[in-house]
Amino acid sequence: MRERWQRLRQHQGAVASLFLLPAGFGFAIFYLWPSLRALYMSFTDYSLLRGEGELVGLQNYEDMIADPLFWQSMRVTGLYVLINIVVQTILALLIAVMMDRLTRSVIIRGILVLPWLIPQVVVGLLWLWMLDPRLGVVNHLLNVVGIGSQGFLGSPDQVVPSLAGINTWRFVGYTALLLFAGLQMIPKHLYESAALDGAGEIRMFFRVTLPLLRPVLALVLVLSVVGSFQVFDLVQVATGGIGGQPGGPADSSLVIYVYIFRQAFNFNNAGYAAAMSAVLAVLLALVTVLIMRGLRGSRSDLA
Amino acid sequence: MSSTTKTSPVRPGASKAGGEAGRLLARLRLSRGFAWLVLFVIILVTLFPFFWILRTALTTNSSLFTGDQSMLPPEPTLVNFRRVLGLATDEEVRAAGGSGAELRFWLYLRNSVVFSTLVTVGQVTSCAMAAYAFARLKWRGRDAVFYVFLSSLMVPPVFILIPNFILLSDLDLLDTFAGLVAPFIFMTPFMVFFLRQFFLGISSELEEAARLDGAGHVRIFARICVPVMAAPLTTAAILAYVIAWNEFMWPLVAGNDPSVRVLTVGLSVFRSGQPQAAPDWSGLMAATVLGALPVILLFLLMGRRIVDSIQFTGIK
DSSP code of residue A244: S
Enumerate the residues of chain A whose CB falls inside 8 A of the CB of residue B159.
Answer: 34-35, 38, 274, 277-278, 280-281
Please tell me the distance in Å from B152's CA to the nearest CA on chain A.
7
Among B137, B242, B306, beta carbon nearest to A12: B137
CB-CB under 8 Å, B292 with A118: yes
pLDDT at A220 over 50: yes
B1 touching chain A per CB within 8 A: yes
Q: For the residues of chain B, what is the DSSP string, one character each?
A: --HHHHHS-S-TGGG--STHHHHHHHHHHHHHHHHHHHHHHHHHHHHHHHHHHHHHHTS-HHHHTTT---SS-SS---HHHHHHTT-S-HHHHHHTT--S----HHHHHHHHHHHHHHHHHHHHHHHHHHHHHHHH---TTHHHHHHHHHHGGGS-HHHHHHHHHHHHHHTT-TTSHHHHHHHHHS--HHHHHHHHHHHHTS-HHHHHHHHHTT--HHHIIIIIIHHHTHHHHHHHHHHHHHHHHH--HHHHHH--STTT--HHHHHHHHHHTS-SS---HHHHHHHHHHHHHHHHHHHHHHHHHHHHHHHHHHH-
Q: pLDDT per residue over A137-183, tens digit each?
A: 888 888 888 787 788 888 888 899 999 999 999 999 999 988 988 88
User: According to the model, what pLDDT value does residue B89 have?
Assistant: 67
Which chain B residue's Cα is nearest to A13? B139
List chain B pLDDT tens, one digit each, 316 residues: 333 434 444 444 444 445 666 776 777 677 788 888 999 999 999 999 999 989 888 888 777 777 677 777 777 778 788 877 777 666 666 666 555 555 688 899 899 999 999 999 999 999 999 999 998 888 888 989 998 888 888 889 999 999 999 999 999 999 999 999 999 999 998 899 888 888 888 777 877 888 888 778 888 888 888 888 888 888 888 889 989 999 999 999 999 888 999 999 988 876 665 555 567 788 888 888 888 888 788 878 877 777 777 777 766 5
Percent of chain A exceeding pLDDT 70 equals 93
User: According to the model, what pLDDT value does residue B72 have?
Assistant: 78
Enumerate the residues of chain B whose CB falls inside 8 A of the CB of residue A9.
Answer: 138-140
- Structural contact between residues A237 and A121, judged by C-beta atoms closer than 8 angstroms: yes
User: According to the model, what pLDDT value does residue A107 have?
Assistant: 86
User: According to the model, what pLDDT value does residue A281 have?
Assistant: 93
Enumerate the residues of chain B whose CB falls inside 8 A of the CB of residue A185.
Answer: 315
Which chain A residue's Cα is nearest to B61? A135
- Check the CA dihedral A121-A125-A127-A133 and report its sign: positive
User: According to the model, what pLDDT value does residue A146 have?
Assistant: 79
Distance in angstroms (rounded) separating the CA atoms of residues B167 and A89: 39
User: According to the model, what pLDDT value does residue A136 have?
Assistant: 84
Distance in angstroms (rounded) separating the CA atoms of residues B82 and B95: 13
Cβ atoms within 10 Å, residue A23: 26
- Structural contact between residues A122 and B58, judged by C-beta atoms closer than 8 angstroms: no
CB-CB under 8 Å, B315 with A216: yes
B158 touching chain A per CB within 8 A: yes
Enumerate the residues of chain B whose CB falls inside 8 A of the CB of residue A219.
Answer: 314
CB-CB under 8 Å, A204 with B292: no
Please tell me the distance in Å from A303's CA to the nearest CA on chain B.
13
CB-CB under 8 Å, A114 with B299: yes
Please tell me the distance in Å from B87's CA to the nearest CA on chain A.
23
Which chain B residue's Cα is nearest to A51? B166
User: According to the model, what pLDDT value does residue A222 have?
Assistant: 87
B 92-121 residues inside an 8 A Cβ radius of A: none
Please tell me the distance in Å from A148's CA to the nearest CA on chain B.
15
- Structural contact between residues A297 and A214, judged by C-beta atoms closer than 8 angstroms: yes
User: According to the model, what pLDDT value does residue A152 have?
Assistant: 86
Among B43, B186, B275, beta carbon nearest to A26: B186
Cβ atoms within 10 Å, residue B22: 9
Residue type, A276: M
User: According to the model, what pLDDT value does residue B102 have?
Assistant: 59
Nearest to B53 by CA among B64, B62, B42: B64
* Residues contacting A296, CB < 8 A, separation 6+: A214, A218
Q: pLDDT per residue over B63-117, tens digit each?
A: 777 767 777 777 777 878 887 777 766 666 666 655 555 568 889 989 999 999 9
Q: Is A267 helix (H, G, I), strand (E, B) or coil?
A: coil
Please tell me the distance in Å from B175's CA to the nearest CA on chain A.
16
- Structural contact between residues B24 and B16, judged by C-beta atoms closer than 8 angstroms: yes
User: According to the model, what pLDDT value does residue B8 have?
Assistant: 41
- Structural contact between residues A175 and A156, judged by C-beta atoms closer than 8 angstroms: no
A267 touching chain B per CB within 8 A: no
Enumerate the residues of chain A whose CB falls inside 8 A of the CB of residue B142.
Answer: 16
CB-CB under 8 Å, B274 with A242: yes
Task: Choose the mutation target among B136, B139, B304 for the interface with A, i.e. most A CBs under 10 Å.
Answer: B139
Q: Give Cα B314 distance to the centre of its chain.
A: 16
Please tell me the distance in Å from B179's CA to the nearest CA on chain A.
11
Q: For the residues of A209-238, what is the DSSP string, one character each?
A: IHHHTHHHHHHHHHHHHHHHHT--HHHHHH
Phi first, then psi, for residue A32 (nearest 5°) are -70, -55
- Between A and B, how many residue pairs show a Cβ–Cβ distance under 8 A? 311
Task: Quote ipTM for the complex.
Answer: 0.86
